[in-house]
């Protein structure tokens, strides 16, 4: 099956003309045209209008919207509208509603309110997706199908409980294998029949939403919930494919969102899309990491920036305006890290309900004479001038950082040793160290081909799946550099500890044995003293370890384990395995990453110590270099870029060139 590709960079976003009188639509399009907007995502929440009752469908309004956009040659991102259910469905079939963690069945309202294992919901969702594809699938302006919207949440109803038991039978085969995997003899929890298994919610194993008495069952329920929603996505995708074999199909993801295993989801998606909503104080390195994660889900393929706000959000604690230039810089950051689209939520601000103050291209004033619109228009014309130069270009990285949802779930279900240990924060600390050195990173899965990298980093690799240790050993033996940290190599896929000493299956490669793990309270800290005399603060956890072939790079300065190793390096075959036994301050992590990069002969994109973000995309033998300034003050241009021409301004860069706050330069 040959699938269509984007013919231009999509610039637009969510448009809800169904919420407005028809006589306003032409004025909206006039304003959009002034901003060089060329795409619109429609039908996101229109199920109730399209299907006013069980047997009645009314496409008349959507027909007009599609015809209007087609006539103006918009790229249409057509949603299936299944993220919010019609009231009549709840009224007639209450089983479609979710039951929450506390055991309360929800009524009509909110958005993601469908039980993923409700056969009634599945029937109606499949039917509407099918009808939409049959009606609009041959429209050449429908560039992408958008299934549902921001899948998320969980359900704990009886439907899900029964489906979970079936899922478990498929996974384990026998009840005895399940009892062993979950260590059910602890607290006498052994079960004898499949129907004795109950969901891990507040009425059973739950201690709190993110805590559990039995991590084995709760970990499996995370997997099951992710799989259940993925089956919903695949169901709608397949319904579309029956009528449209070529158009790309996606659903919008949410970065490091915890509940869904996005690496597994990406295998079923034609193109990854995601919604980027940094808060006023989100570090740019974190947004960059999320972009790289979205790119990494499909092994480096370009993705879609499906949603961002032109200015302020409305649902965060502090919904600050984006300062002049920041939206442009954030948009180009997405493009720099692999996006082939720049899209907004929303194109027109809604008149009421909870998102009425969410930023939009057209504000409540209803015209184009606003600061935000001018910025949107300026960006639109810049992207139009760039044309398809960047489209389908790729990022080449020699560093891979492992991100694994099983590990994410298991680590944060763990009771102890320190409640402040969170997975994404640990990943970001190491990502930021590479980011600050302008070294490109791929976010990769535990199943990725490690051989295409010189460095693989896996902070807090707590859960080590069968076969992973052997693959990492092969990577290092063949010359790779591997780094991991405290709380790694501890448990298997069922959260049962590898006996024989930490870090379990990684112990031989790392050349260490961790005897104890000390937890430090927020006010406590130690210091790590490196062989070169550098000293850095460390906190959170302190591994007390013994060398078993590795050599020490740094030692603790105080406490009863003063003088023992905290950072180690072990020659293993042709490569090296590095271990960091505590959470070092950012400068300490940067110190280690610098040594790691040097060992792998990886150089920064600039020789200068710059506060700029610098990254590249490549296409047809040409390299595009993006230079972005997210600092609050102007930054000098690194000397190696002097004499090159900025694609955006057309101006040659000189030694006097500096980048103002939120300024962007693209070089070819």
Would you state the pLDDT for residue 562?
98
* Cα–Cα dist 239/176, whole Å: 38
The confidence score (pLDDT) of residue 110 equals 87
Q: Is 542 annotated as a binding residue?
A: no
Closest-CA residue to 485 (of 504, 457, 524): 457
Task: Give the DSSP per-residue string, 595-624.
Answer: HHHHHTT---S-SS--SSEEEEEEETTEEE
Distance CA 446, CA 426 (A): 17
Q: Which of 307, 368, 375, 613 is catalytic?
A: 307
Q: Looking at residues 96-119, what average pLDDT do you find?
A: 94
148 lies in the same domain as 171: no
148 with 162, same domain: the answer is no
Bridge partners of 414, per DSSP, are none
For residue 407, the model assigns a pLDDT of 98
- The mean pLDDT value for 74-85 works out to 97
Q: Which of 150, 154, 375, 613 is catalytic?
A: 150
Domain match, 237 and 215 both: no
Residue 236 in tokens: 């709608």
**Where residue 340 sits, what CATH number does that domain have?**
3.20.20.80
Cis previous bond, 286, omega within 30: no
pLDDT of 615 reads 97
Mean of pLDDT values over 37-46? 97
Residue 559, domain CATH: 3.40.50.880
State both tokens at 476.
Answer: 């290092």
In-domain check, residue 659:
yes
Place of tokens 């959170």: 540
> Burial of 386 by CB count in 10 Å (0-12 exposed, 13-18 middle, 19+ buried)?
middle
Does one domain contain both 364 and 478?
Answer: no
Let me know whether 367 and 406 are in one domain: no
Nearest Cα neighbor of 59 from 14, 21, 18 is: 18
Q: Is the peptide bond before 355 cis (omega within 30 degrees of 0)?
A: no
- The verdict on residue 414 lying in a domain is yes
Q: What is the CATH number of the domain that holds 652?
A: 2.60.40.1180
Q: What is the separation, in whole angstroms, between the first and last Cα of the chain?
A: 34
- Residue 210's pLDDT is 86
* Residue 599 CB neighbours (<10 A): 15
Distance, CA of 551 to chain centre: 36
- Domain assignment present for residue 2? The answer is no
Which of residues 350, 365, 386 is at a domain's end?
386
Would the pTM of this model clear 0.85, i.e. be above it? Answer: yes
Q: 541 and 421 share a domain?
A: yes
Is 155 labeled as ligand-binding?
yes
Residue 22 a catalytic site member: no
pLDDT at 2 over 80: no
Please indicate, yes or no, if residue 5 is contained in any of the structural domains.
Answer: no
Q: Is the pLDDT of residue 653 over 70?
A: yes
Q: Tell me: the pLDDT tens digits for 343-359? A: 999 999 999 998 999 99
Q: CB of 460 within 8 A of CB of 489?
A: no
d(CA 4, CA 139): 13
Q: Which of 199, 220, 241 is the last residue of a domain?
A: 220
Residues 291 and 251 placed together within one structural domain of the fold: yes
Query: Is 167 a known ligand-binding residue?
Result: no
**Residue from 271, 628, 596 nearest 401 by CA:** 596
Q: What percent of the chain has pLDDT over 70?
A: 100
Position 486 scores a pLDDT of 98
Judgement on whether residues 287 and 371 belong to the same structural domain of the protein: yes
| Domain limit, last residue, from 220, 254, 270 | 220
Residues 209, 281, single domain; the answer is: no
Task: Give the distance between the most distant pair of CA atoms in the chain.
Answer: 76
Considering the domain boundaries, does residue 295 fall inside one?
A: yes
Q: What percent of the chain has pLDDT over 90?
A: 97
Query: Does residue 441 have a pLDDT over 70?
Result: yes
Q: List, for residues 503-561, the tens digit of each pLDDT value.
A: 999 999 999 999 999 999 999 999 999 999 999 999 999 999 999 999 999 999 999 99
In a domain, 185, yes or no: yes
Report in angstroms the alpha-carbon separations of 600 from 471, 480, 597: 19, 8, 5
Q: Mean pLDDT over residues 659-665, rounded?
A: 97
149 is in an annotated binding site: yes
* Helix or strand run (H / E) with residue 290: helix 284-296
Average pLDDT over residues 454-478: 98
Residue with tokens 């027909």: 63
Predicted confidence (pLDDT) at residue 274 exceeds the cutoff of 80: yes
Instruction: Please report whether residue 552 resides in a domain.
Output: yes
Cis omega before residue 417 (within 30°)? yes
- Is residue 557 located within the same domain as residue 633? no
pLDDT at residue 622, rounded to an integer: 96
Give residues with Cβ within 8 angstroms of 200, minimum separation 6.
206, 212, 214, 217, 218, 221
pLDDT for 607: 87
Q: Name the DSSP class of 122.
A: H
Q: Can 412 be counted among the known catalytic residues?
A: no
Within 10 Å of residue 563's Cβ, how many Cβ atoms?
A: 11
Give yes or no: residues 560 and 446 share one domain: yes
Residue 208 has pLDDT above 90, yes or no: no
How far apart (Å, rounded) are the C-alpha atoms in residues 653 and 328? 20
Q: Give the structural domain span for 375.
A: 10-85+111-152+224-386
How many independent structural domains does the chain possess? 4
Q: Is 113 annotated as a binding residue?
A: no
**605 in a structural domain:** no
- One domain for residues 546 and 618: no
Note the Cα 526 to chain centre separation in Å: 33
pLDDT(1) > 70: no
Average pLDDT, stretch 170-188? 97
Average confidence score pLDDT of the chain: 97
């Amino acid at each position: 099956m040959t699938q269509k590709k984007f013919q231009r960079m999509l610039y637009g976003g969510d448009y809800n003309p169904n919420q407005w009188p028809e006589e306003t639509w032409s004025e909206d399009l006039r304003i959009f045209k002034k901003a060089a907007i060329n795409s619109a995502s429609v039908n996101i929440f229109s199920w109730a209008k399209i299907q006013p009752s069980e047997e009645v469908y009314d496409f008349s309004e959507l027909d007009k919207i599609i015809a209007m956009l087609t006539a103006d040659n918009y790229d249409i991102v057509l949603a299936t509208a299944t993220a919010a259910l019609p009231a009549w469905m709840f009224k007639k079939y209450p089983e479609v509603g979710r039951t929450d963690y506390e055991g309360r069945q929800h009524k009509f309202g909110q958005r993601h309110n469908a039980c993923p294992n409700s056969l009634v919901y599945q029937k109606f969702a499949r039917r509407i997706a099918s009808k939409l594809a049959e009606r609009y699938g041959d429209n050449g302006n429908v560039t992408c199908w958008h299934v549902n919207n921001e899948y998320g949440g969980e359900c704990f109803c009886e439907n899900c409980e029964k489906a979970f038991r079936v899922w478990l039978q498929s996974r384990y085969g026998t009840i005895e294998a399940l009892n062993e995997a979950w260590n059910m003899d602890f607290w006498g929890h052994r079960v004898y029949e499949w129907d004795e298994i109950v969901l891990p919610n507040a009425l059973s194993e739950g201690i709190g939403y993110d805590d559990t008495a039995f991590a084995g069952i709760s970990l499996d329920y995370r997997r099951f919930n992710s799989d259940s929603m993925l089956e919903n996505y695949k169901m709608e995708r397949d319904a579309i494919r029956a009528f449209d074999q070529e158009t790309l199909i996606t659903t919008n993801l949410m970065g490091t969102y915890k509940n869904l295993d996005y690496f597994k989801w990406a295998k079923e998606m034609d193109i990854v899309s995601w919604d980027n909503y940094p808060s006023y104080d989100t570090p740019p390195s974190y947004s960059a990491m999320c972009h790289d994660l979205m790119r990494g889900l499909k092994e480096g393929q370009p993705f879609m920036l499906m949603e961002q706000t032109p200015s302020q959000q409305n649902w965060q604690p502090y919904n600050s305006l984006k300062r002049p230039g920041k939206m442009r810089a954030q948009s180009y950051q997405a493009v720099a890290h692999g996006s082939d689209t720049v899209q907004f939520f929303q194109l027109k601000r809604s008149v009421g309900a909870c998102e009425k103050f969410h930023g939009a291209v057209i504000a409540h004033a209803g015209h184009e004479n606003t600061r935000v619109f001018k910025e949107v228009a300026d960006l639109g014309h810049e992207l139009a001038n760039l044309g398809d130069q960047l489209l389908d270009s790729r990022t080449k990285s020699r560093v891979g950082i492992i991100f694994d949802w099983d590990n994410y779930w298991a680590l944060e279900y763990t009771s102890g040793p320190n409640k402040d240990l969170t997975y994404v924060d640990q990943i970001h600390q190491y990502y930021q160290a590479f980011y600050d050195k302008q070294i490109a990173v791929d976010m990769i899965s535990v199943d990725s081909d490690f051989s295409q990298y010189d460095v693989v980093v896996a902070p807090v690799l707590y859960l080590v799946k069968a076969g992973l240790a052997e693959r990492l050993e092969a990577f290092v033996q063949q010359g790779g550099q591997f780094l991991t940290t405290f709380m790694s190599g501890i448990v298997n896929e069922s959260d049962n500890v590898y006996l024989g000493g930490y870090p379990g299956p990684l112990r031989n490669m790392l050349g260490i044995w961790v005897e104890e793990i000390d937890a430090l309270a927020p006010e406590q800290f130690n210091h790590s003293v490196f062989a070169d005399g550098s000293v850095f603060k460390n906190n959170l956890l302190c591994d007390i370890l013994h060398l078993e072939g590795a050599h020490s790079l740094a030692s603790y300065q105080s406490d009863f384990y003063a003088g023992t190793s905290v950072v180690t390096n072990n020659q293993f075959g042709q490569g090296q395995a590095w271990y960091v036994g505590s959470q070092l301050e950012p400068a300490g992590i940067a110190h280690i990453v610098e040594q790691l990069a040097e060992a792998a002969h990886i150089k920064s994109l600039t020789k200068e110590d710059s506060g700029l973000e610098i990254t590249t995309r490549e296409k047809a033998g040409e390299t595009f270099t993006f230079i972005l300034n997210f600092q609050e003050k102007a930054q000098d241009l690194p000397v190696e870029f002097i004499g090159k021409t900025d694609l955006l301004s057309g101006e040659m860069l000189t030694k006097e060139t500096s980048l103002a706050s939120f300024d962007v330069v693209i070089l070819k």
